[in-house]
C-alpha cells in the first residue's frame, strides 16, 4: 500500500533552501518516520554577549564578534542583548543581512531553524531532523549571559511510520538510501548530496545519483564510488527552493511504497505548481527483471528561473528527455540508459502545438458513457524509429481530459477496469515552465 506524506502533516520536516532539508524530508518519509519536532529555547539574561562567546547547536558553532571576519558562522554583537540574539537567529536561518550581521561564509543550519523574532529575551530553535532524531541535536554555549533549558533539543517523537527504507551511508546533509528487501526488486541505492553541491546557487538543489552497489562514501560534494551508476553522473539534481533561506518553507508531498517513491515540491519558481522527482523501480515488461531501477530529475545545475521540464516534464523521447535514466537497458547489459515516457498521446488534442504535455482533450464527463479516462504512463528506450517499450511507471496515470477540469489535490475512485482503485490529482510544471501538466497518482496498491 503506498503511503502519502506531506509538509502539512503534524511534525513533518521542512523543505527549504538551506543545506540538509532534502535529507531531512527523505529521512522522515523513507527511514525514520516523523511526529512532533524537537525544540529548545536559548535565553539571555538581558546582558549582552562578549566578544568570542559561542553558541553550539548540533554540528555548528556560532561565535559572537565585535567585528565579523571571513570565518564561517561569525555573528556580529548587536547594540544590546536582544540585537545579538536577532543576529544569531538570522544566521541560523540564513536570513537578514549576510555579510553584515553574520559572515559571508555562513550557510543556513542543516539541522535546525530558529524563530523569526526575539521574544522575552529568547528565541525557540526547532529541529529540522524528523521525529526522535531531533532529540540528539546538542545545545551548548560558552557565554555567561546565555542559557539553554537542556543539553539537547527535546520533545521529538514519531506518530507517522516511514516506508521502511534504510539509510546505509550517512554524513552531514547527505545520505545513501535503499529500498527494503522486496522480492524481485532492484534495491538500488539513491545517493543524495544536500550540503551545498552547487557553488553558484548554494543549497537550493540537492545532487542525486543511483547506484547498484556502493563501495565508499564520497567526500565534500563529491559523489560516492560504486558500480552500475545511473543519472547524469555529474549534475543530476532535485530543486528544493527558489531561495537559500529557511523561510518560506516549501510545500511538498511524497507518495511511496517499498520499491518506489515520487516527491512533489512547490519550490517557488511558479505559484502552486510542483516540480516532481522519482526514484525506485518501474514495472518492467521483461520477465524476472531485477534491473528495473530508474531515477528522474534535472540533469544540470541551473538558476531557479530556468527550471521547467527537467522533472516529470512532458512525454518525450529518450534523446530529449533530460534527467531520466534507467538502471540498465531492457537486455540488462547497458547501464545508465536514457528513457522517455508517454501516456495515450492520441488524446492530447487535435491541432495542439504542444503535443508533449500530460493533459488531454476528451470531454468530461465523457459524452457517450459519462466516464473519466486514464492511461498508464509508458516508458521506452532506444532511438527514433527503433523504440522499445520497457515498462510502465508504477502508480502514475495520464488523465485524458483538459487541465481545467481538475483542481490540484482532487480525488476520485476508479470504475470499470479500475474498480476498487483510488487516485489523486497532482499538478506540476511542464515544458513551458507553467502549471500546465497533471498526473493522477494511485493511492491504492501499485502493481510490482
Question: Count of CB atoms within 10 A of residue 8's CB?
Answer: 9
Regarding whether 98 and 216 lie in a shared domain, the answer is: no
Indicate the number of domains in the chain.
2
Task: Say what percent of the chain tops pLDDT 70.
Answer: 92
CA 440 to CA 2: how far, in whole Å?
Answer: 14
Regarding whether 91 and 67 lie in a shared domain, the answer is: yes
* Structural domain ending residue among the three candidates 120, 148, 176: 148
Q: Is residue 369 included in any domain, yes or no?
A: yes
Q: Is residue 55 included in any domain, yes or no?
A: yes
Q: Dump strand ranges (E) for 240-321.
A: 251-256, 260-266, 275-281, 283-284, 293-296
User: What's the confidence (pLDDT) of residue 437?
Assistant: 77
Sign of the CA dihedral running 66, 69, 74, 78: positive
DSSP label at 346? Answer: G
> Three-state secondary structure along 7-54?
CCCCCCCCECCCCCHHHHHHHHHHHHCECCCCEEEEEECCCCCCCCCE
CA 231 to CA 208: how far, in whole Å?
Answer: 8
Element (H, E) at 22: helix 21-26
Q: Is residue 154 included in any domain, yes or no?
A: no
Q: Dump strand ranges (E) for 135-250.
A: 139-142, 146-148, 166-171, 174-178, 189-193, 205-211, 213-216, 225-227, 237-239
Task: Say what percent of the chain tops pLDDT 90.
Answer: 70
Regarding whether 365 and 219 lie in a shared domain, the answer is: yes
Q: Which three cell numbers stand for residue 122?
A: 529568547
Q: Is residue 447 included in any domain, yes or no?
A: no
Q: Per DSSP, what are the bridge partners of residue 275?
A: 265
User: What's the confidence (pLDDT) of residue 17?
Assistant: 93
Regarding whether 168 and 141 lie in a shared domain, the answer is: no
Exposure on the CB side of residue 91, measured as CA atoms within 13 A: 31
CA 344 to CA 420: how far, in whole Å?
Answer: 22
Q: Is residue 153 included in any domain, yes or no?
A: no
Regarding whether 309 and 368 lie in a shared domain, the answer is: yes
Q: Dump strand ranges (E) for 166-304.
A: 166-171, 174-178, 189-193, 205-211, 213-216, 225-227, 237-239, 251-256, 260-266, 275-281, 283-284, 293-296
Do the strands 225-227 and 213-216 form a parallel or antiparallel pair, or are they unpaired?
Answer: antiparallel
Please, what is the Cα angle at 357 between 26 and 263, to 5 degrees?
5
User: What's the confidence (pLDDT) of residue 147?
Assistant: 98
- Runs of H (alpha helix) within 120-245: none
Q: Is residue 448 included in any domain, yes or no?
A: no
Element (H, E) at 25: helix 21-26
Regarding whether 93 and 175 lie in a shared domain, the answer is: no
User: What's the confidence (pLDDT) of residue 305?
Assistant: 62
Question: Count of CB atoms within 10 A of residue 69's CB?
Answer: 11
Tens-digit pLDDT profile for residues 187-211: 999 999 999 888 788 889 999 999 9
Owning domain of residue 128:
39-148
User: What's the confidence (pLDDT) of residue 355?
Assistant: 43
Q: How far are the Cα atoms of 125, 128, 136 from residue 113, in angstroms, in the given order?
A: 6, 7, 15
User: What's the confidence (pLDDT) of residue 402?
Assistant: 87
Q: Is residue 123 included in any domain, yes or no?
A: yes
* Structural domain ending residue among the three candidates 95, 123, 148: 148
User: Which residue in this structure is represented by grid cell 543549497?
Assistant: 203
Task: List the chain residues with pLDDT less than 50.
Answer: 309, 350-355, 431-433
Regarding whether 170 and 81 lie in a shared domain, the answer is: no
Regarding whether 171 and 95 lie in a shared domain, the answer is: no
Regarding whether 62 and 21 lie in a shared domain, the answer is: no
Element (H, E) at 374: strand 374-383
Q: Is residue 155 included in any domain, yes or no?
A: no
CA 257 to CA 47: how far, in whole Å?
Answer: 53
Regarding whether 310 and 190 lie in a shared domain, the answer is: yes
User: What's the confidence (pLDDT) of residue 234?
Assistant: 82
Closest listed residue to residue 190, CA positions, set 298, 294, 335? 294
CA 264 to CA 144: how far, in whole Å?
Answer: 45
Regarding whether 378 and 239 lie in a shared domain, the answer is: yes
User: What's the confidence (pLDDT) of residue 351?
Assistant: 46
Regarding whether 435 and 333 lie in a shared domain, the answer is: yes
User: What's the confidence (pLDDT) of residue 421?
Assistant: 97
* Structural domain ending residue among the three candidates 148, 171, 195: 148
Amino acid at each position: 500500500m503506498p503511503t502519502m506524506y506531506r509538509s502539512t502533516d503534524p511534525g513533518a520536516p521542512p523543505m527549504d533552501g538551506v543545506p540538509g532539508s532534502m535529507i531531512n524530508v527523505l529521512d522522515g518519509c523513507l527511514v525514520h518516520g516523523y511526529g512532533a519536532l524537537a525544540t529548545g529555547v536559548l535565553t539571555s539574561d538581558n546582558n549582552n554577549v562578549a566578544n568570542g562567546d559561542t553558541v553550539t547547536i548540533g554540528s555548528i558553532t556560532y561565535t559572537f564578534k565585535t567585528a565579523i571576519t571571513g570565518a564561517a558562522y561569525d555573528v556580529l554583537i548587536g547594540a544590546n542583548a536582544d540585537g545579538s540574539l536577532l543576529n544569531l537567529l538570522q544566521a541560523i536561518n540564513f536570513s537578514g543581512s549576510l555579510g553584515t550581521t553574520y559572515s559571508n561564509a555562513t550557510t543556513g543550519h542543516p539541522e535546525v531553524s530558529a524563530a523569526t523574532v526575539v521574544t522575552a529575551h529568547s528565541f525557540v530553535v526547532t529541529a529540522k531532523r524528523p521525529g526522535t532524531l531531533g532529540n540528539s541535536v546538542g545545545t551548548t554555549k560558552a557565554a555567561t549571559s546565555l542559557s539553554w533549558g537542556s543539553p539537547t533539543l527535546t520533545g521529538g517523537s514519531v506518530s507517522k511510520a516511514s516506508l521502511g527504507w534504510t539509510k546505509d551511508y550517512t554524513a552531514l546533509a547527505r545520505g545513501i538510501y535503499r529500498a527494503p528487501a522486496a522480492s524481485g526488486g532492484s534495491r538500488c541505492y539513491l545517493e543524495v548530496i544536500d550540503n551545498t553541491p552547487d557553488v553558484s546557487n548554494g543549497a537550493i538543489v540537492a545532487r542525486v545519483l543511483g547506484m547498484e552497489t556502493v563501495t565508499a562514501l564520497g567526500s565534500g560534494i563529491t559523489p560516492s564510488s560504486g558500480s552500475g551508476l545511473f543519472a547524469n553522473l555529474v549534475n543530476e539534481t532535485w530543486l528544493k527552493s527558489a531561495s537559500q533561506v529557511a523561510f518560506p518553507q516549501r510545500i511538498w508531498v511524497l507518495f511511496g511504497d517499498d520499491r518506489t517513491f515520487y516527491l512533489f515540491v512547490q519550490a517557488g519558481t511558479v505559484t502552486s505548481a510542483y516540480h516532481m522527482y522519482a526514484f525506485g523501480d518501474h514495472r518492467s515488461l521483461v520477465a524476472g527483471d531485477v534491473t528495473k531501477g530508474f531515477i528522474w530529475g534535472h540533469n544540470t545545475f541551473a538558476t531557479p528561473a530556468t527550471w521547467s521540464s527537467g522533472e516529470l516534464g512532458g512525454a518525450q523521447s529518450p534523446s530529449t528527455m533530460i534527467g531520466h535514466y534507467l538502471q540498465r537497458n531492457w537486455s540488462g547489459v547497458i547501464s545508465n540508459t536514457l528513457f522517455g515516457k508517454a501516456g495515450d498521446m492520441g488524446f492530447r488534442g487535435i491541432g495542439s502545438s504542444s503535443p508533449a504535455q500530460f493533459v488531454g482533450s476528451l470531454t468530461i464527463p465523457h459524452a457517450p458513457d459519462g466516464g473519466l479516462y486514464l492511461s498508464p504512463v509508458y516508458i521506452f528506450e532506444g532511438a527514433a524509429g527503433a523504440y522499445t517499450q520497457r515498462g510502465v511507471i508504477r502508480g502514475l496515470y495520464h488523465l485524458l481530459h483538459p487541465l481545467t477540469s481538475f483542481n490540484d489535490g482532487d480525488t476520485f475512485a476508479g470504475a470499470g477496469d479500475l474498480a476498487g482503485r483510488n487516485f489523486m490529482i497532482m499538478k506540476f510544471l511542464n515544458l513551458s515552465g507553467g502549471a500546465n501538466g497533471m498526473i493522477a497518482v494511485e493511492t491504492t496498491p501499485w502493481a510490482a
